[in-house]
Amino acid sequence: MKLIRTLAIIAVFVLASVGVYAQGSVTGTLSGTVTSQGAPLPGVTVTITSPNLQGSRNSISGDGGGYNFGGLPPGMYTVTFELAGLQTVTKTQNVAVANSSKVDADLTVATVSEAITITASSPSVLDSPQISSNFQQDAIEKLPINRDPLSVAALAPGVLADAGQSGTSIGTLSANQVQISGSPGYDNLIMVNGVVITENLRSQAGPLFIEDAIQETTVLTGAISAEFGRFTGGVINSITKSGGNQFSGSVRDNLTNSAWGALVPTQTVRTDKVNHQYEGTLGGFIVRDRLWFFGAGRQQKKTADFATVLPPGTTGASPLPYTRLDDEKRYEVKLTGQITPKHSLIVSYLDKKRDLTNTRFTNSIYDLDSLTTQGTPETLASAFYNGVITSNFLLEGQYSKRTLKFVNSGSKFTDLILGTLMRDSSNGNARFNSPTFCGVCDTERRDNHSILAKGSYFLSTPSFGNHSFVIGGEDFHENRYANNHQSGSDFRVNVSSVRLINGVLYPTIDDSSASYIRWTPIFVGANENNLDVKSVFLNDKWDFNSHFTFNLGLRYDKNHSEDGQGVVASDDSAVSPRLTAIYDVMGNGKHRFQASYNKYVSRVIDGPGTANDASGTPGSIDFQYRGPVINPAGTPVNQLVDDHTALQMLFAWFNANGGTSNLDLLHPTGARSVPGFDYFFEGSLKSPSVNEYAAGYGVQLGQSGYAKVDYIYRKWQDFYGLTVTQATGTITDQLGITHDRGIIDNTNDIQRNYRGLQFQAGFRPSRFNVGTSYTYAKLRGNDETETVTSGAFANIPLDSYYPEYAGYARRLPTGYIDNFDIRHQLKLWAGYDVPMPASFGSLNATILHSYHSGVAYSAAGLISVTNYAGAPDIPAYEQSLLGVQNYYFSDRGALRADAVNRTDLALNYVFPIGKVQLFATGELLNVFNNDGVEDLNFIQKSVRTNRNSNCVQASNGPTPGARCLRFNPFTETPVEGVHYQLAPGFGGPTNFQAYQLPRTYRFSAGIRF
């Protein structure tokens, strides 16, 4: 505690020294050692210049020959070393965002007047003590990939990205999520200009960028500095351009048309329409070397073709086609100015407006009434300060804010007929009659803001080498405001089956368990929650000598999480050591070995951290329909009633029998969730964390190449957990419904372990640009903490959730983690600048091959655990909680989707006209039109059990053709065809969206100057 108090006092001093605060992740560092005949050389004047730096900066090498420049805008730098009587040396080096670069120089006695100029630079991947990859956007321009940060990050080893480039999701990562070195999809730090761009609930990265405005992207997958926190995965950090002393700009039109390419198997609907994505940028100076400006804009109207699905057994009808319109506009402005020659300020702002027409919550809809129009405006703002106090002391600071709103997201009606969502229990809850959520009830907000500062001090000593100290602090807040209405009327109705006849939907509503009324009331209006993390960090990059470098870091994070009712879920703290050692074999940067131990602590995420919040949170209470059967089987068509009439009949019966006040109508095994009565916190919830051990080797190849391999082992701990046992007791809500008392806490009875070998290499001989990344990884455990639709939630260990009913091993087995474990992942690209006369312009051809082995999934299904042999009876009020549990009929992760190969080509042509360049790019994606199935959201994984009336015994059963038998999950091993049945087409695609992107053509053209 004494150490923590000391760090806190130092951090307060730093914060008090800065007028505007900084995140410090929008800059890079350049350092090195000056020697003469191998001995440290103090007193050398080191000068750096760059097109990205206003003016120049100078430093004097210290007693140990060391120098350091912090807070540098990323870019290519010229470094000049000068000392009277010695030959002047000039080198160039790229400085990457969130990384440190190194330039050493050995000065000799001047025998001639000419200086020595060395134009080659060492790769920043090898210079940095972090396991990192850096991608310059001008190089990305030539690759046949999307130019957004997540698609670029997918080129790095250890990164598994979502649909960005592939057109489908790998596994079931939620859209705009990534997995880094085995992390959950929600647990990464993704930033633009140092501002977190992920939303609060699922941590999906918002598209808060304009591709032509991006300068570079850095990806950190291991050995990450103490300056970064609130994650257990990794960091993706992109920065945008900043203008300069020369005016520059661009205009681009990106053209796509789904009709230009091939169809995937089973796809039948698409529109022959050209979609345009326009981009424009303009940068320059207002006052040369004092005030720069940069602006950018992006506009796109994109259409996508979809179709409804048909109820089971439908004949003589076709799905209804519909076209979704995505209308989006983005604008960015950025000013970079020098307050004085030693103090600068960067202010940036991005505004995004997006309107979706004919969008839906799920793909499985029966009618066009399920479609809605939705707006999601977002903003991103930051102010960054950089102050050079002395040549060795630097202050940086940033204030940032991100906002996100959901406007008109759901039904336009609130009455019982037009505002009630209907679902077909016989077909995976396919939806019809009304959109999901309410679009006229309220506007949801998901925001974050941050204040962060750091100070950097450089110390060069003759005996103990060079130290680059960084100390800082951050105050990060996430806030969400939502009245989360699940439908316009706050009711959902599940029906037993649906018939589609002559374009009319006829639902069957009977007294079976499949027909019920779900009431989703909001008892307490929304209030804004506050999930706050205050942090202090200390880091020392210690260059002991030419052979040994150490990174010594420590981070302290303190959570304070309050829900909308002011209930404190977490008031916890944690310390994270970050320790790395590098051995340079020859002392010249050619061969480097690295070993590290690091601990990363996540934040308390919205979901588990607000599980007991009643404000704005809907209940979920199921009432059994017991009225006359509506549309029974065998009814003549002229006597059937449509969905609107069926709802009128259902609610007339429901209200006549007391409606929501009649607890005798509660569904015996249905939901009975009332916010504020289901879950509680005992003590303070901890943030999940991970311990990482890593070792690696890097080698520089010639003057322009490198290769690096890293082994990373990670083990997670302090998982979110849910405890519900007899000991936790019960509680009765304001409606008179009895609930089991569930405790949200932390557990280590869950496993998640990652072992990965991450390799990357790059080489640029002559006209070629060759690069590759490869990952061999195993992700094992039984962590089940997120879904595509719900985000993060708590695990339920076997011994903490009524083990007498649900403690059987096959409920939560350990194995390869579903949806995330992929054994092999490869990216290999090669570009070539075709020789051409200068008057003809320039032509570059680039090929990219991508491969990943099949993603893991399991054969798992729901079983009834009520009244099996030897089990105690389950009280009625508990059956909704305990009655149905998951059972793994295969080992976890025993099954695999297809391995996916894809080859993409790009041709980039530039024709100069004076200072103006005309450019055109043509891309051919998936040249060989491979059709691997990779999106688990659209793979048939259903397992039928006795719960399903369509589960019938096969010929090996005691009664072939009869319903599948129940079994005791503690003592019996289920037999396929007797106790369970794989759904027809198991393992195959259920929708054309399961396939990888088919052969696709894309074009872009424009002007640059």
User: pLDDT tens digits, residue range 158-204?
Assistant: 999 864 444 456 666 667 889 999 999 999 999 999 899 999 888 88
pLDDT tier, 122 (very low <50, low <70, confident <90, very high otherwise): low
641 has pLDDT over 60 = yes
The whole-number pLDDT of residue 804 equals 85
Q: How far is CA 450 from CA 73, 194, 478, 557, in A?
A: 21, 10, 9, 14
The whole-number pLDDT of residue 864 equals 85
The whole-number pLDDT of residue 114 equals 61
Distance, in Å, from the CA atom of 231 to the CA atom of 604, rounded to the nearest integer, reads 10
Closest alpha carbon to 255 in 241, 275, 236:
275
Task: Look at 648-652, 681-685, 873-877, 895-899 and tell me which has the smallest mean pLDDT.
Answer: 873-877
pLDDT tens digit sequence for 201-232: 888 899 999 999 999 999 999 999 999 999 99
Distance, in Å, from the CA atom of 351 to the CA atom of 379, rounded to the nearest integer, reads 5
- Residues paired with residue 1000 on neighbouring β-strands, in sequence order: 925
The whole-number pLDDT of residue 23 equals 39
Concatenated DSSP letters of 498-563 = EEEETTEEEEEB-SSTT-EEEE---SB-----EEEEEEEEEEEEEE-SSSEEEEEEEEEEEEEEE-
pLDDT tier, 950 (very low <50, low <70, confident <90, very high otherwise): confident
The whole-number pLDDT of residue 6 equals 38
Distance, in Å, from the CA atom of 754 to the CA atom of 758, rounded to the nearest integer, reads 12
pLDDT tier, 20 (very low <50, low <70, confident <90, very high otherwise): very low
pLDDT tier, 12 (very low <50, low <70, confident <90, very high otherwise): very low
Concatenated DSSP letters of 942-960 = -EE-TTSTT-B--TTSSST
56 has pLDDT over 60 = yes
Distance, in Å, from the CA atom of 71 to the CA atom of 52, rounded to the nearest integer, reads 12
Distance, in Å, from the CA atom of 694 to the CA atom of 713, rounded to the nearest integer, reads 6
Task: Look at 221-235, 579-593, 632-646, 667-681 and tell me which has the smallest mean pLDDT.
Answer: 667-681
Distance, in Å, from the CA atom of 571 to the CA atom of 562, rounded to the nearest integer, reads 9
The whole-number pLDDT of residue 726 equals 80
pTM of the entire predicted model: 0.91
Average of pLDDT values for 18-36?
69
Average of pLDDT values for 117-132?
76
Closest alpha carbon to 764 in 142, 102, 229:
142
Distance, in Å, from the CA atom of 516 to the CA atom of 512, rounded to the nearest integer, reads 8
pLDDT tens digit sequence for 745-772: 999 999 999 999 999 999 988 899 999 9
Task: Look at 236-240, 257-261, 346-350, 659-663 and tell me which has the smallest mean pLDDT.
Answer: 257-261
Task: Look at 18-27, 242-251, 426-435, 989-998 and tell me which has the smallest mean pLDDT.
Answer: 18-27
10 has pLDDT over 50 = no
For residue 427, how many other CB atoms are within 10 A of its CB?
A: 17
pLDDT tier, 78 (very low <50, low <70, confident <90, very high otherwise): very high
The whole-number pLDDT of residue 15 equals 35
Percentage of residues in the chain with pLDDT exceeding 70? 94
Average of pLDDT values for 407-412?
94
Distance, in Å, from the CA atom of 454 to the CA atom of 553, rounded to the nearest integer, reads 14
Rg, the chain, Cα only: 30
818-831 burial, b at 16+ Cβ within 10 Å, e below that, comes to bbbbbbebbbbbeb
Are 772 and 706 in contact by the 8 Å Cβ rule? The answer is no
Task: Look at 49-53, 614-618, 624-628, 869-873 and tell me which has the smallest mean pLDDT.
Answer: 869-873
The whole-number pLDDT of residue 271 equals 77
The whole-number pLDDT of residue 880 equals 62
The whole-number pLDDT of residue 165 equals 40
Q: Where would I find the beta strands (DSSP E) of 817-915?
A: 824-834, 842-852, 856-857, 860-864, 884-888, 895-896, 900-913
Cβ neighbors of 685 (< 8 A, separation 6 or more) are 559, 561, 569, 570, 572, 604, 608, 609, 720, 744, 745, 746
Q: How far is CA 408 from CA 366, 413, 880, in A?
A: 21, 11, 33
Tokens 């059709």 belong to residue: 931
Task: Look at 167-171, 410-414, 940-944 and tell me which has the smallest mean pLDDT.
Answer: 167-171
- Give start and end residues of each alpha helix (H) in 97-183: 124-127, 137-140, 149-153, 163-166
Q: Which of 157-166, 498-507, 730-739 has the highest mean pLDDT?
A: 498-507
The whole-number pLDDT of residue 696 equals 97
669 has pLDDT over 90 = no
* Mean pLDDT rounded to a whole number for the chain: 91
Are 630 and 716 in contact by the 8 Å Cβ rule? The answer is no
Q: How far is CA 383 from the centre of its chain?
A: 25
The whole-number pLDDT of residue 870 equals 72
The whole-number pLDDT of residue 878 equals 67
Alpha-carbon dihedral 236, 240, 244, 249, rounded to 10 degrees: 140
The whole-number pLDDT of residue 495 equals 97
pLDDT tens digit sequence for 586-619: 998 899 999 999 999 999 999 888 988 999 999 9
Handedness of CA 340, 343, 345, 346 (dihedral sign): positive
Average of pLDDT values for 418-444?
95
The whole-number pLDDT of residue 544 equals 94
705 has pLDDT over 60 = yes
pLDDT tier, 304 (very low <50, low <70, confident <90, very high otherwise): confident
362 has pLDDT over 70 = yes
Distance, in Å, from the CA atom of 623 to the CA atom of 534, rounded to the nearest integer, reads 45
14: part of which helix (H) or strand (E)? Answer: helix 2-16
Output 854 or 872, whichever has higher pLDDT: 854
- Residues paired with residue 262 on neighbouring β-strands, in sequence order: none
The whole-number pLDDT of residue 18 equals 34
Task: Look at 116-120, 202-206, 277-281, 640-644 and tell me which has the smallest mean pLDDT.
Answer: 116-120
